[in-house]
Amino acid sequence: MSVETVVDRYLDGRITVLIGDLTDQRVDAIVNAANASLLGGGGVDGAIHRRGGPAILETCRAIRATRYPQGLPTGEAVITTAGELPARYVIHTVGPIYGQHRGDEPRLLANCYRRSIEVAREHALTTIAFPAISTGVYGYPASEAASVVSRTLSQWLATDDSFTEVRLVFFNRSHAETFVAAAAFGATDESA
């Protein structure tokens, strides 16, 4: 079990920014930064499948064979078992690849968080943990992502109290500090 460090809390403590491993989070759902194939990859996706075991991939394959034969579109989200992970479910979403969406990246990144939250609510889940979606392999600058994520979560938390805990889990201190420095919680700019 890796050591976790809480870096900051926002919005009456309902949002927690922490340094840790997403796969350690004991919450209703962790959110996977997947790719359209839903068949695994590197980064947090690889960690989830490695630690969660084959049941996750089996469910992903079933989703590809039925609902998403062409792959999961960017900004969409689906839910599977969490297999051997401490979490109950994994919500898989596909983040935008920075520079590949003709300026539509902020909206697509916001959709990853919005759709993951909607899927969690459809399953009556109340605690959820996100990685920094798209800020790794997909190249989204961490400070730009922080602005989109904090505004999106502020908008949603302002109208919905069904979640008791939203964790933003960063793999290292510098990423967490970049997020805190750029976050704009309380702003509800519709542009995101």
Show which residues are catalytic.
45
- The DSSP secondary-structure symbol of 22 reads G
Q: Shortest Cβ distance from residue 156 to ligand APR (Å)?
A: 20
Taking CB under 6 A as the rule, does residue 138 contact ligand APR? yes
Interface pick for ligand APR out of 125, 133, 166, 183 (rule CB under 6 A):
133
Rounded to 5°, the CA angle 41-22-43 comes to 25
Taking CB under 6 A as the rule, does residue 86 contact ligand APR? no
Classified as helix, coil or strand, 142 is: helix
Piece in contact with ligand APR (CB under 6 A), picked from 72-80, 114-122, 131-139, 149-157: 131-139
Burial annotation 49-75 (CB, 10 A radius, 16+ → b, else e): bebbeeebbebbeebbeeebeeebebb
Taking CB under 6 A as the rule, does residue 169 contact ligand APR? yes
> Which residues, 35 to 54, sit near ligand APR by CB under 6 A?
35, 41-47
Taking CB under 6 A as the rule, does residue 116 contact ligand APR? no
- Integer CA distances (angstroms), 72 to 81, 102, 155, 156, in order: 17, 19, 25, 23
Taking CB under 6 A as the rule, does residue 21 contact ligand APR? yes
Q: Rounded to an integer, what distance in angstroms lies between the CA atom of residue 68 and that of residue 183? A: 33
Q: Rounded to an integer, what distance in angstroms lies between the CA atom of residue 16 and that of residue 18? A: 6
Binding residues for ligand APR, rule CB under 6 A, total 25
Q: Shortest Cβ distance from residue 159 to ligand APR (Å)?
A: 27
Which lies closer to ligand APR via its Cβ, residue 32 or residue 154?
32
Q: How many CA atoms lie within 13 A of 173 on its CB side?
A: 2
| Residue 104 in tokens | 């539509």
Piece in contact with ligand APR (CB under 6 A), picked from 7-15, 18-26, 64-72, 102-110: 18-26
Beta carbons of 90 and 55 less than 8 angstroms apart = no
Binding residues for ligand APR, rule: CB under 6 A, are 21-23, 33-35, 41-47, 95, 131-138, 169, 171, 175
